[in-house]
Structure 1
């Protein structure tokens, strides 16, 4: 069997289980007496171990098995959780994560696990290996509980008991130095079948035959012989290190005990919820993201052809064609919603890695931090999800390191010892907003201004006219930092220019609010999707451009608004606000064309970024249209004021205007 076919699925599911373990460990650290969390961690570790063993990643399987043994002792109340044990388990999970990453990169997942295994074993047995029988007992307990029998097998066992036969669980451990374990296991099987009938094995027979198990396995045996004979016959096989035979006297009771490992007792309501989740889960399939990208590209081409058909229908005025195109438009709109929804994934996929990061960072900085996550179910396009993780890491690390005060400083300022960081996502119109809010010291306005003047970002004269928002935005300048000393974590401002650049490359924006002594809020605005967008088509002379709808406030004309000059800048008075005008003909250097109808009023498209508004002057507004965003390619990657291009229904290429570039850094 070619296991490579299952490698991608193994990696995906392993990462899910690692994330689940991390999530539950964080909960367990807060409520160490809550066994439900231990049960969830044990279940994920148990599944992960089985998958690793099946795929032949022995180091990963053995390490997970040792962690599983510790978890088993915890849930059996034989070991009490303390900070040292939590740190060992966290370290173990980090190492497992590293091994899975190595496998994903094409490696074999091998790591030096000697030290961490020793720590895990010392938790299981404080006298560390000196009491081999005790270690063997724990090992046996962990192994034998993995056997789960179905209804058919149970009926066989019940019938066997009625006929006076014995039912045994046989645990066999091979010598660690055994070279051909599967061959030795086959000899054990042969000897066991001479004594009776094997009903069940763990791992499965196929895995044992293919050498996909550790050093031990368990058999469920029905026989007329006494346990001493079984023990003696199997122990005589070369390289069999240990044989443990346990009789099962009550099949029903034993079945419940065995199932307890994988199915902890739950309230009736919780069981019903889980059953519903299972039913829902069975209707889901995994789809490669590349296939979804291909589907989106094909649909994008269809949208372009649909636009062309609409133009042909309007030109020819053929009623049948018009009706057919209208029907195609309705169907394609539904199809578009479906295609886009298939690409939408909850931001939870990004958010769920942050609690662990915050926990580790807080310990490193000796701070108490509570991370509150809201709106994790909010959905974003997969393309955006893949890109937004790093900017959020920057913002969270800055919030912890520089935003939140030390415990002593918070106490002195009559604040709770524990700092609070809110990570929140929510929908608003065609945008998703993500906020990172801390209750720390806030941004020092004067400190930012002085540093900006010192570094030549602004002049002292310019600093007098800047609003608080404009001052705070200065920390996004390249290499800007107000930190008194540079740490390994970061000072607020380090890397924030990268954050801004990344977010704007996604068609988004970022703003800051801050109150000294109370905290800061970073607000990211992102488009729902980057592939198909609604836009307003405009004409500048003979050139057609598209302006994304999400930045447009309103459209007016110079006939409805008096245009006057202020400090050499053309402006209009619009809704009680002075709005500067930008002539697109001048910006894009479009050749002037004489209008046959004489002087026509110019259209002004009012666009907004944050709290700032400007007016884009154009000749004609053609109307709104759904367009497919196409990249310009590597030869035209840095056109001022342009973010991409689209193909219109008539085959014409229209450039897409990036309105954000018309706003100056200082507003």
Structure 2
């Protein structure tokens, strides 16, 4: 069998099962007596083992099998759930993740797992094997008994069966038993259905098709088949499917299967609907976090490769450019019919734009999911007691942003763990509880997503930061007293800045935060810091919902056109030239009681100057965190949605320009990076 075609599905489903195991293991540590959690972990591990064995990844399958033995011991009461046991299981999970990543990167998935295998074996060996075997034998004897999967039929189904029999068809219930050690049960079900559908028409199944697809059943399932083929032929054909242990075919007698009453019918339907909805919801949640992207419709979800969505987005971007061109032509010609058609096309393309952007949106939980396990391990390494609270994991971001935001968040959380939250003895001494809390929160606000990382630790020491900044030459001593608290806190985002008394492998607060800042700003976002010494700190990251299509204010400087992102703009204004003042050799204006410096775009971008004798100046007030500036332009053109295009490899690091766009008249407008202009 050619397995390469299944590789992508294997990788994505493996990641889903590994994430499910990690989540459930963390839950198990808090609820060690809950066997339901153990069963969930066991099911994911068992599925992963089967998939790995089928694909030929022996190290992956062997380690999962050994981990499965330990889980089996836990659920049978032979092994106790302790932090030490879970430490070893988490180590096994780390190795499994390494192997899956190796496969995803084109490797063979081989990895030295001997050490963790020995540790798992010692855990298993230290308990009574005889009791474990007895428990397994009891479980096996129960599992061999086939459940009662006889079906009941509603009025419509009975009519279909009755009319089929009148036309010479037979109606059979085909019950299929898969082997206990069956790998990829859903695949076997599909193969059985394929065989049966060649014999006739399948009108019902128990469990439902959705539950069968999700492997939400043990080893038996039943389907109702309308056919003209003999029962013996059907049985023989179904038995030819690999890993099918037994097939029974019985004729349906409607008199024996009449539904007792309408109440029972409703209860059964509601029960099945609830089960199916729950299973489908779980599947959708898992598929939302897969690296291939997703497209949802009603309760159905399909996987779509992210590269296809990128192609679709690129095509739509071209459509947006043409839409702008058509709108320009419509205005120039002033033809009512053309104008009406273009308006309709704009509305439809706007709806299409929303759909495409939503298709690219991924919940931030795909990033957040990695942190509970990381926090647990680092807290143990640092001998600290730390709880991680995650709020708003369902908040969605563009896939491009999601891919880039992971590392900055890891760095901020590691710093909060290492130098934010104190050790238990210090917390008790300061009148706090032993357990520290780190909160990771995401939420929408306007066209932005905000991510907050807060802790209830020691906070940031203003004087310590200032002294370090002065010694590093980041600020002058005479400037120190005039800086606000927020300005002082943001000094830790400077390159090479650190307040750590000693450097640990976790990293001190401030080390590398300049990289965090530059990464976030490269995404069109910003980071601000607030802190109360002794009470904790909060880092607030602001990110755009999407990077490809943005709303801008088009302006004119000389004969050139520039686009300024609306996300940076506070206000536009026209001021008298007599209101322009000079302070410290810098031209400024008084904006609502604040002194705001003027930035002349014609000077920044060396645009040939035009003569203006109106006595007025057009300005756009922009903001970066607490700082503001007034960008001086010649005139405002208006608000527009534009497609952000890169300047390419030959124009890297152009000062204060983040990209370009093509306007409706075919002209190119440069997109201004307001963050770079605000000092």
TM-score, normalised relative to structure 1 = 0.79
Structure 1 residues 374-399: Cα deviation after superposition (integer angstroms, max 9, x where no partner): 01111100000000000000000000
Residue by residue over 1:397-456, the C-alpha shift from the partner in whole angstroms, topping out at 9 and shown as x without a partner, is: 000001111111111111111111111011111111101101111111111111111111
**What SS does the aligned partner of 2:179 have?**
strand
Deviation at 1:219, TM superposition (A): 11
Shift of 1:135: 7.5
User: Residue 361 and residue 204 in structure 1: after superposition, are their counterparts in 2 closer, same or farther (change >3 A)?
Assistant: closer
- Mapped pair 1:484 → 2:501: yes
Select the residue among 620, 630, 642 that pairs with 1:615. 630
1:341 to 358, 369, 375: 358
- 1:658: Cα distance to partner? 0.7
Deviation at 1:140, TM superposition (A): 6.5
* CA distance in structure 1 between the partners assigned to 2:133 and 2:404 by the alignment: 48
Q: Does structure 1 residue 534 correspond to structure 2 residue 551?
A: yes
- Contact 1:374/1:424 (8 A) holds in 2: yes
Cα deviation for residue 507 of structure 1 reads 0.3
CA distance in 1, matches of 2:108, 2:352: 42
Aligned to 1:399: 416
Distance 1:279 1:106, change over 3 A: closer
1:653 is matched with which residue? Answer: 668
What CA distance in whole angstroms lies between the structure 2 residues aligned with 1:391 and 1:19?
21
Question: Is residue 624 of structure 1 aligned with residue 639 of structure 2?
Answer: yes
Q: 1:376: which partner in 2?
A: 393
Whether the 8 Å contact between 2:448 and 2:542 is mirrored in structure 1 is yes
Q: Partners in 2 of 1:322 and 1:292 — Cα distance?
A: 31
- Say yes or no: does 1:635 pair with 2:613: no
Distance 2:465 2:448 in 1: 30
Aligned to 1:275: 276
Give how far 1:78 is off: 2.9
Where does 1:36-55 land on structure 2 (aligned, <5 Å)? 36-55=36-55
Structure 2 counterpart of 1:472: 489
8 Å CA contact 2:577–2:617 kept in 1: the answer is no
Partner of 1:515: 532
Distance (whole Å) between structure 2 residues aligned to residue 81 and residue 205 of structure 1: 28
Q: Does 1:313 align with 2:330?
A: yes
- 2:409 equivalent to 1:408: no
Provide the TM-score with structure 2 as the length reference. Answer: 0.78
- Find the aligned partners of 2:382 and 2:659 in 1 and give their Cα distance: 44
Which residues of structure 2 form unaligned runs of 5+?
Answer: 152-175, 189-217, 221-268, 285-298
Q: Deviations over 1:324-355 (max 9, x none)?
A: 11111000000000000000111000001100
Distance in 1 separating the partners of 2:219 and 2:640: 68
CA distance in 2, matches of 1:44, 1:466: 54
Cα deviation, residue 73, structure 1: 2.4
Alpha-carbon offset, residue 77 of structure 1:
2.3
Structure 1 gaps, min length 5: 155-197, 211-217, 221-267
Q: CA deviation at 1:464?
A: 2.3
Decide whether aligned partners of structure 1 residues 644 and 62 sit closer, same or farther in structure 2, where only a CA change above 3 A counts. same
Q: How many residues align?
A: 562
Equivalences for residues 141-180 of structure 1 within 5 A: none
- Partner of 1:593, secondary structure, is coil
Q: Is the 8 A contact 1:509 1:525 kept in 2?
A: yes
Q: Please, which of 552, 560, 565 is the counterpart of residue 543 of structure 1?
A: 560
Structure 1 residues 370 and 569: alpha-carbon distance in aligned structure 2, compared to 1, 3 A threshold: same
1:105 matched to 2:105: yes
Query: Does 2:382 align with 1:365?
Result: yes
The 8 Å contact of residues 103 and 109 in structure 1, kept in 2 or not, is answered as: yes
Deviations along 1:207-226, one digit per CA (max 9) or x if unpaired, are 9xx9xxxxxxx999xxxxxx
Q: Is the 8 A contact 2:449 2:545 kept in 1?
A: yes
Query: Structure 1 residues 273 and 455 mapped into 2: Cα distance closer, same or farther (>3 Å)?
Result: farther
CA distance 1:279–1:357, shift in 2 (3 Å)? closer
Instruction: Give CA deviations for 1:511-565 in whole Å, capped at 9, x if unaligned.
Output: 1101111111111010110000000000001000000011111111123982211
CA RMSD of aligned residues (A): 2.8
In the TM superposition, what is the alpha-carbon distance from 1:100 to its structure 2 partner? 1.1
